[in-house]
Structure formats: C-alpha cells, structure tokens
Amino acid sequence: MPDHSVAVLVPGRIHPRVLERLKEHVEIVAVPMGAPTEVAPELRDRIRGVAISGVLDNGWIESLPNLEIVSNFGVGYDGVDTKKAAEHGIVVTHTPDVLNDEVADTTIALLLNTVRQYPKAENHLREGRWKNEGPYPLTPLSLKGRKVGILGLGRIGMEIAKRLEPFKVELGYHTRSRREGVDYTYYSSLKDMAEAVDTLISVVPGTAATHKIFDMEIFKALGENGVFINVGRGTSVNEDHLIAALKNGTIAAAGLDVFYDEPNVRPEFLELANACLLPHVASASVPTRNAMADLVVDNLIGWFKEKKVISPVPETPVKR
C-alpha cells in the first residue's frame, strides 16, 4: 500500500519504471520541468523526495520545507546543484556503475563509426549506391595503430580502457590524481595528452573545472590526424572551436554522443561529413535504463524506510 504521508516530486519526464515502482510506495507529484509551480501547501509539506532526470530548478530546493532527498537519474548529476542541496541538508543520489558497460560499449561503437564511417557505409547500401555507383569509398582513417588518450579514468573510463586493450592501441589517460595500479601512460595535463596521442576520448563529468576544456588549443595539439570522441558531457566542449577544427582540418573527425545544449544540436554539426553524431544514447538500452530506474527508486525508498541510500554523490551530506 502506498504511504500517502510521503510525496515525491517528479519534475518533467522520467523513465516510466521510476513512476510505476514509486507509486507503489508514495504519492507522486508530477510537475513541469523548470521553475516551481503552484503546489497546495498541504501537499507541498508532504514532499520529502525528488526524482529527477535533467535539471532540477533550485526554486524547488528552496520552496519545499520538508525535502530530504534528491534522487538523480543518471551518473552525471550536473543538473542538480549539490552545494545548494547540501546547504539545506538534502541528500543527493545518482546511478553510478549500473551503466558502465553500456556506456563503454557505446564508446567503442562510436569510435569505430567515427574512424571507419560504418553508418554512412550502411546508408550507401540502403540508398542503392553500392549497386549503382560502386563500393563505398575507402576510409582515410583507421583505428589500427592509434594512440588513445582518455580524459577521465573513473568507473566508465576504466571500462572503456579495458575494452580498448584488445584493439592493440596505445593507451594513456589524464585525471587530476594519478590512478594507483594502472599501467596506462599518465599525462599530467589534458594539453600534454593531446600532444602525445591522436585520439581523445572524454568521459569526465560536467563541472566548472571541465567547462569548455576542449578548445582550439587542445584540438591543435591533437592534430590533423586527430579523432575526438565525447561520451561525457557536451559542456566540456567549446563547440565553436570544435566546429571550426572539424571544418578546417585542425582535427580529422569527431564522434559525439553529448552536446552543449541538448537536445539542440548546432546545425553546423549536421553539415559536417567528419562528425559522427548520436542523440545521447550511450546508456539507452532497456536493461540498463531499467537498472538506472531501479536505483533511482531504491535510493528513495531506502531513505524513507531506513534513512539509508545506496549511491549518494560524493558531495552529499548523508545523515544516517
């Protein structure tokens, strides 16, 4: 039986499984994404949790007097102001680990698609051009012999690196703190890594420190044979610079699953033959998204039942 003394706010859209499971336990208050809307005081005072996929407006944190927990759908929680939440003693959780394999698999696919142009080759067949015009042109780029540098060797970055080992590429990484027990070459800055490798993969969170760190200086360092893959956050990229770098041959190609202002993709990207584009689908399989949905719900229910959460974000003040 749902405990209607507890209500959970759900701004905007979220995976349906979150709603299905949550409604067995609590009352759901569905509101539009964005600034707070009118909620009856009696209901407002029962809202102790938020389930969010996207951006949580700070107005909700300020206007819900009994809010205790924000459960974020996704490992990246740049849509939640964790500092503001902490000021209000609110716990923030996210969905790490359950998506590592899926995102790492997508990264390999995106990398191969970017260098070998498989989606375009398939279109060549589908459009009847193989028969009418002849074979798809040879791809100028190949994965063979590449030197790959990964920005961010965390949970997902490690899975990407492990998957790349059998591809016989050279592997290196940059993180702020060097990882113990890892044999890949460590670079002490992104710039140094970009100079040393010909393929950059970004899988860092969207933070102030990673905002637009991929700029023309980095693309110039990567060079004309360079391939840039981004499965972290679009906010890490200066898209003006990336578009220019792809247009003028500063780098050879880019594979992007994330964009600065999703779902608005800069039209220039669509014009670029050397850009391979995905609509933020790295974790988007039914089993992985179900696991993420379950973790969103289990964090909330665990908190309401026993004041215990499974996967708090590092910045959160978990009170037990």
Instruction: Tell me the window of 9-17, 175-183, 261-269, 292-300 that interacts with ligand A2R (CB under 6 A).
Output: 175-183
Is 233 among the residues known to form the active site?
yes
Is 280 among the residues known to form the active site?
yes
Inter-residue contact 202 to 214 (CB < 8 Å): yes
C-alpha 136/C-alpha 247 separation (Å) is: 22
Backbone angles phi, psi at 186, to 5 degrees: -95, 130
Whole-number CA gyration radius for the chain: 22
The reply to whether 210 sits near ligand A2R by the rule CB under 6 A is yes
The reply to whether 152 sits near ligand A2R by the rule CB under 6 A is yes
The reply to whether 200 sits near ligand A2R by the rule CB under 6 A is no
Q: Which residues from 30-89 bind ligand A2R, rule CB under 6 A?
A: 75-76
The reply to whether 25 sits near ligand A2R by the rule CB under 6 A is no
State the minimum distance, in angstroms, from the CB of residue 69 to ligand A2R.
20
Is the sign of the CA dihedral 273, 119, 156, 93 positive or negative?
positive
State the minimum distance, in angstroms, from the CB of residue 194 to ligand A2R.
13
Instruction: Tell me the window of 11-19, 154-162, 269-277, 302-310 that interacts with ligand A2R (CB under 6 A).
Output: 154-162
Inter-residue contact 214 to 193 (CB < 8 Å): no
State the minimum distance, in angstroms, from the CB of residue 126 to ligand A2R.
31
C-alpha 33/C-alpha 55 separation (Å) is: 8
Rank residues 125 and 209 by Cβ distance to ligand A2R and give the closer one: 209
Residue 166's CB is within 10 A of a number of other CB atoms, namely 7
Is the sign of the CA dihedral 315, 316, 319, 320 positive or negative?
negative
Inter-residue contact 299 to 93 (CB < 8 Å): yes
The reply to whether 211 sits near ligand A2R by the rule CB under 6 A is no
State the minimum distance, in angstroms, from the CB of residue 196 to ligand A2R.
16
What is the set of active-site residues? 233, 262, 280
